[in-house]
Amino acid sequence: MSAIENKLKIQTMLLISHKPVRFKEFIQVLKIEIDEVGRIIESLRNEFNTKDSGWWIVETNDAVQLVTNPSQTQFIEEYLQVEQMAELTKPALETLTIIAYSGPISKMVLDKIRGVNCSLIIRNLMIKGLVEEVSNEGEKKLQVTMDFVKHLGLSDISELPDFGTLNDHEYIKGFNGEAEQVEEKVEEQK
């Protein structure tokens, strides 16, 4: 790949990732040397980290993340307050329902059940305080928050209609089993 293609792919990886991307991920995915990754990140930093850009490149230790310009913090807080008060979309309600009935659930299983990448929906549900990420047996999983349960007027998530039936449904259990097999293969490859 050319340097321009590598730069485009690094930008894309940074844009779609909801967490910092490690240098080793760039190296593994793009099959390039660490020096080239460093040059591209420096180029992106020079391009984005200006007062006229809404994007900002942040680098810590061995990872890089695309974030918003720090000068826009107040605007972001105001916008998120408005967004937080907005009604949930149909995809957000579907995602929230799956998390409520199947949680704690890994993002990979959630994506597989819905058939789409749910990163942005998850982010919005987290901003609204309805979903949180928890560590479950060393793995990050999603579950609904206490605020979600309280908002529905419940004292426990198991009080949701048909919770026992849906929580134990073979369809959901099948996805969880498949996800565990995929995760084991990924771990073996590391």
Question: Given this model, what pLDDT does residue 135 score?
Answer: 86
Partners of residue 58 on adjacent β-strands: 65
> What's 3-70's CATH class?
mainly alpha
Do 3-70 and 87-189 share a fold?
yes
Residues 186 and 62: their CA atoms lie apart, in Å, by 21
Q: What does R_g of the chain's alpha carbons equal in angstroms?
A: 20
Question: Given this model, what pLDDT does residue 12 score?
Answer: 94
- Listed by start position, the domains of the chain span 3-70, 87-189
CATH number attached to the domain at 87-189? 1.10.10.10
Question: Given this model, what pLDDT does residue 109 score?
Answer: 87
**Which residues lie closer than 8 Å to 169 by C-beta, 6 or more apart?**
none
Q: Cβ distance 99 to 144 under 8 Å? A: yes
Question: Given this model, what pLDDT does residue 54 score?
Answer: 92
Question: DSSP assignment of 110-168, as one string?
Answer: HHHHHTS--HHHHHHHHHTTSEEEEEETTEEEEEE-HHHHHHTT-SSGGGSTTHHHHHT
Residues 180 and 90: their CA atoms lie apart, in Å, by 28
Q: Cβ distance 119 to 16 under 8 Å? A: yes
Taking only the tens of pLDDT, the chain with its 190 residues reads 788 999 999 999 999 887 899 999 999 999 999 999 999 999 999 999 999 999 999 998 889 999 999 899 888 878 776 665 567 889 998 998 889 888 788 898 899 888 899 999 999 899 888 999 998 777 889 999 998 888 777 778 778 777 666 556 565 555 555 555 545 554 555 5
Question: Given this model, what pLDDT does residue 128 score?
Answer: 86
Record the tokens describing residue 39, joined without a space: 């040059």
Which amino acid, residue 105?
I
